[in-house]
Structure 1
Amino acid sequence: MATFVLTGAGGFLGFHVRAALQEHGHEVRSFAVGDAHDAAEAARLVAGADQLIHIAGVNRGEHEQVARGNRVFAQQVAQALRAAENPPARVVFANSTHAATDTVYGEAKREAGRIVSDAAETVGAHMQDILLPNLFGEFGRPFYNSVTATFCHLIATGQAPEVTDDKELTLLHAQDAADLLIGAVDPAGMGELTVQETVSGLRDRLQSMAGTYAKTEFPDLATRFDRDLFNTYRSFLYPEGLPLPITRHADQRGSFFEIVRSRGGTGQTSFSTTEPGITRGDHYHRRKVERFTVLAGEAEIALRKLGTDEKHVFRVSGDEPQSVDMPTFVSHNITNIGSGTLYTAFWTNDIFDPTNPDTIPEVV
């Protein structure tokens, strides 16, 4: 287990980095930058850590706010590095490809990188300045983090996104960015993880996915990008979009229910039996798409987004089957609250791999 110190741990990318670090069992510390910064506390937290990842930044606001905010944040990180006893051996700056431009934001990110790099060199740490492109991912902030978050929010709330500047985007999922920042993936391979898509193409993909999912069907998830984009869209439906109805076809012979319709990609179906009073689950997924459907018995399915205390509980029954899809980064479990055996069907979009289960323990 290694110890990581983060700035910006409460932001969009910080959320994804913390989720990735939890899977690997690493310790995570964080300190505030900006007005809430405590220099002594920051130096104490940095001391003895294995890695420091500087994520916090200002990418929206007046020019002076953007320039000053990124400079001050970097200066506070540099101060903590220089003041810490036994500073970390690796320092990472979550920079932006905009650093190559002559915009105010680009210059601010270049300057921030220089400030942190100078401090890392002073303390003998290896510095990585990782230039990240347009990020997208679950639980992004619309009208702030990315056009993807904005489009997802608009579509999920029944609005029609408009395209005003149909440029080509280089897109990277936030979990891939997290893997790059924590050192799980070599930054030299970033190009294999990015996807080129126009703004209108992004909108059309999302609208098509939303239309398919509105029928409780899964869209084509054959590619990593489509899977990650679909998971991003689903996060904007949580928790209001759950549970999902199932159509019942009945005649004198009995009833017939369709549990899953998938438009493409791999899939695995399984079922479990659970004795009365027993709870299964208490974990979350970073990339897996999963659906629970109770076939017989009475159950409560509980969900909680990482980093929050709010729990959502859905009571489901085999008498009137409903499906509950598990959003990524939402811990979940299922409890048999009936007097008999609970039968539950599970569908996931990937074939289970015991060497990479994508199942991270987290009590709901």
Structure 2
Amino acid sequence: MRTVLVTGANGFIGRNLVATISRREDIEVMRIDSKNSLEELEEYALKADFIYHLAGVNRPENTEDFMTGNLGSTQHLINILSSNQKKTPILLSSSIQAKQENPYGSSKRAAEEAVLAYGHNIGVNTFVYRLPNVFGKWSKPNYNSVVATWCYNISREIPIQVNNPEAEVELVYIDDVVESFIDTMDAADTSSISDYRDIPRSFIVKLKDIEASLVSFKSSRHTLVISDLKSDFERFLYSTYLSYMPEDDFGYDLEMKHDNRGWLAEFIKTEHSGQVFISRTKPGITRGNHWHHTKVEKFLVIEGEAVVKFRRIEDEKILEYPVNGLSLRVIDIPPGYTHSITNTGTIDVITLFWANELFNPDKPDTYYLEV
């Protein structure tokens, strides 16, 4: 069993790291945050086999607090270990701002130098990550993350400010950060030198593109058209956006089109992967009796009993496929076949449909013809 200390455990990166690493049966996690005493820090530091030093400050009330919060807290941790001849590997979460000549950057650079010096002097591996902008769940909005702030504001229809839409920002995703941190810990004993580390994957994105994606995520609840999420960045950004939604606004209603047959509702639309919709059909009722030149569909009955019928439009032979909600069977609807689905049971039939293209009322590609 390895004992791991995480300072700054209640911060953005700390919470995500602890949530992941705590699931491992070979790890015991000790957590330190601003509420813990110096005595608790010393106790935990001397027990630890590996230390993630994530604690720090980036928006203090006074400029001099940068050094106190970043270098001072780091030096205090190192003094505890050094005075007790503890050779404990340390991973320090720093910032690309350490390259800048400003109070925050100078304090982060000083903390880096202290950690690396400790590793060199006492003969133990230490690791420094100069992180760019990190995004993902649990970051604090309206603080120091543009993604967190925009996700929070846009989901609540609060205006955002974009000073330079063409400006680019380098982003790393929180899951990639956590994975890299854990990989470094696992290989700490076999690493040959103390060094600077980078997150293997980052994204260079224009501010205007981030804004456009977030606005589309917001509007998708009304248009039902969701981004195809073709890139990892889009998938990660969408997950991040949802994590900042108001907790009283997770749900939204779909428009149900009622008629004598039951009802039908569109669920999800995509520009390149078609759309999904759902229907309820009363006993004895038939839907369909039409065909398509190019559009194709999939039918899946999830409740009730039905029969799907096909007929090639120039033939008389009718094909029948019985389906029911107890034995899920997907039925493909080829082009050139008129088709229908009839509720043959005593209860309403619930059916999921997928079509490979969005419905276009100007070009519906749907032609009535009895099966």
* TM-score, shorter chain, exceeding 0.5: yes
What are the Cα deviations for residues 304-325 of structure 1, in whole angstroms up to 9, with x where unaligned?
Answer: xxxxxxxxxxxxxxxxxxxxxx
The amino acid across from 2:4 in the alignment is: F
CA contact (8 A) 2:128 2:197 kept: no
Given candidates 226, 230, 253, the residue that maps to 2:234 is: 226
**1:93 maps to which residue?**
92
Given candidates 186, 197, 200, the residue that maps to 2:208 is: 200
Please give the residue correspondences for 1:82-161 in structure 2 after superposition, counting only pairs within 5 Å: 82-83=82-83, 87-88=87-88, 90-161=89-160
CA RMSD of aligned residues (A): 3.2
What are the Cα deviations for residues 132-157 of structure 1, in whole angstroms up to 9, with x where unaligned?
Answer: 10111113212213111111122111
What are the Cα deviations for residues 162-203 of structure 1, in whole angstroms up to 9, with x where unaligned?
Answer: 212443211111221122222269986735x11111223222
What are the Cα deviations for residues 236-286 of structure 1, in whole angstroms up to 9, with x where unaligned?
Answer: 114122223233233222233444434568999xxxxxxxxxxxxxxxxxx
CA contact (8 A) 1:12 1:145 kept: no
Cα offset for 1:121? 3.6
Cα offset for 1:47? 2.9
What are the Cα deviations for residues 79-137 of structure 1, in whole angstroms up to 9, with x where unaligned?
Answer: 3323557553x310001111112122111101011222233344432100111101111
Larger radius of gyration: 2
For structure 1, the residue ranges without an aligned partner over 5 or more in a row are 269-294, 297-342, 346-364
2:237 and 2:99 map into 1 onto residues whose CA distance is 27
Cα offset for 1:158? 0.7
1:266 and 1:228 map into 2 onto residues whose CA distance is 22
Distance 1:123 1:204, change over 3 A: same
Distance 1:22 1:138, change over 3 A: same
SS in 2 for 1:250: strand
**1:310 maps to which residue?**
none
SS in 2 for 1:255: strand
Distance 1:188 1:117, change over 3 A: closer
Distance 1:29 1:263, change over 3 A: farther
Of stretches 247-256 and 225-234 in structure 1, the one that deviates more from structure 2 is: 247-256
**2:55 maps to which residue?**
56
The amino acid across from 1:180 in the alignment is: S
2:14 and 2:273 map into 1 onto residues whose CA distance is 30
Distance 1:28 1:138, change over 3 A: same
CA contact (8 A) 2:129 2:197 kept: no
SS in 1 for 2:22: helix
* 1:243 maps to 2:251: yes
**2:32 maps to which residue?**
31
**1:19 maps to which residue?**
19
Distance 1:53 1:158, change over 3 A: same
1:93 and 1:129 map into 2 onto residues whose CA distance is 5
1:267 and 1:50 map into 2 onto residues whose CA distance is 52
CA contact (8 A) 1:39 1:80 kept: no
Count of equivalent residues: 269
2:179 and 2:273 map into 1 onto residues whose CA distance is 24
**1:190 maps to which residue?**
199
State percent identity of aligned pairs: 25
**2:264 maps to which residue?**
256
TM-score (norm 2): 0.64
The amino acid across from 2:254 in the alignment is: I
For structure 2, the residue ranges without an aligned partner over 5 or more in a row are 188-195, 277-301, 304-349, 353-371
SS in 2 for 1:46: helix
1:66 and 1:209 map into 2 onto residues whose CA distance is 37
CA contact (8 A) 2:131 2:198 kept: no
